[in-house]
A and B are shown apart, each in its own frame.
Chain A
Amino acid sequence: MSPWETQLRKGIVELAVLATIAEGEAYGYGIVVRLQGVSGLQFTESTVYPVLARLAREGFLAIRVEPSPAGPSRRYYRLTAEGRRRFDAMAEGWKTVSESLSNLLKGVR
């Protein structure tokens, strides 16, 4: 993967994670699995888990712990009110950038 693509993905991982959780409460690996199903957003756990931990620390995500039959408890993440605002702002920003860039590329082609 080229460096610019890596940088692009690095920039959008937080938005991708927030968007996944905005669809509904999800646990760590469930978020990874959901993203794996989206073309271009195949982030793995080493990318997603630290972002989840950081967003939780920053108050954008709330955690609900539930026992798991397989072992340690699962952490379910959901957006807080602040997280929802953050997601809305990021989504809006992304739309603007995306549309502008698409228009720019149309002109080039």
Chain B
Amino acid sequence: MSTIDMTVISGSLQTLVDARLDAIDRALLGRVSRQERLNVVGEVEGRIHELLHDRCGPGVEPSRDDVLAVFARLDPPEAYLCEGDDHEEPRAARSPSRPPAPASAWSVSDPGRFARYSGMLGLASLGVGLLMPLAYGLVFVTGNELPVLIGVPCIGLFMMLGGLASLFLAISSRLSNAWAVVGAAAGVLSCIFGMAGVVFIISLLIL
């Protein structure tokens, strides 16, 4: 092989190719090892040069249109986000500018997130319950019953709602991990304590 036969790419077009390869590298980042990323990017780079070679002929410098036409024949960088997934779309539908599919933030197929939020919400709801004794303390300090009469029902309602939401999230996640179990337990306790606080204040007002 002589270097004269190789497809020569000018600086600006090489930047375009590099950007494409970097986008693929970023799509793989954090999911596969560096060596694997290098291998994949190397394969794509080789394929780009082969397609340019076939399109323009040996030793002929490709134009920007040639490079873009070659890109259109390749899978977009987003296609590398999921190894093994099906990406068999019609070639005409492929575009380098196609945006990545948005990650579904609240889908049932994401039980881990549900579980995590359930645990955090459950613990937060339970933690808010600690403000109830504080409300009682304020009564003694200020000599005014308003902190208890207003604060405790509000705290109780928040705990009940937070507990119910936490329980709902834990069930939605199908108790998939420890966070979900914590969320379910904290949710139930939060509901009980919250309800007890509200009932206690209501009974005080009635009596």
Contact = CB atoms under 8 A, between A and B. Distances in A.
Interface string B12-54: 0000000000000000100011011101101111111110111
Contacts, number: 112
Given A9-B86, A49-B40, A71-B7, A54 B32 contact: yes
A46 B80 contact: yes
Given A10-B86, A50-B32, A50-B83, A45 B50 contact: no
B88 interface: yes
B67 to A, nearest CB: 13
Contact of B36 (A5, A43, A53, A70): A53
Given A47-B83, A51-B83, A70 B6 contact: yes
Interface residues of chain A: helix, strand, loop or mixed (majority): helix
Interface residues of A, number: 34
Interface stretch (A18-26, A72-80, A83-91, A93-101): A72-80
A44 B33 CA distance: 21
A54 B52 CA distance: 27
Q: Which of B28, B33, B37, B83 has most chain A Cβ within 10 Å?
A: B83
Contacts of A107: none
Contact of B85 (A10, A49, A67): A10
B151 interface: no
A5 B85 CA distance: 10
Contact of B39 (A6, A46, A49): A49
B53 A49 contact: no
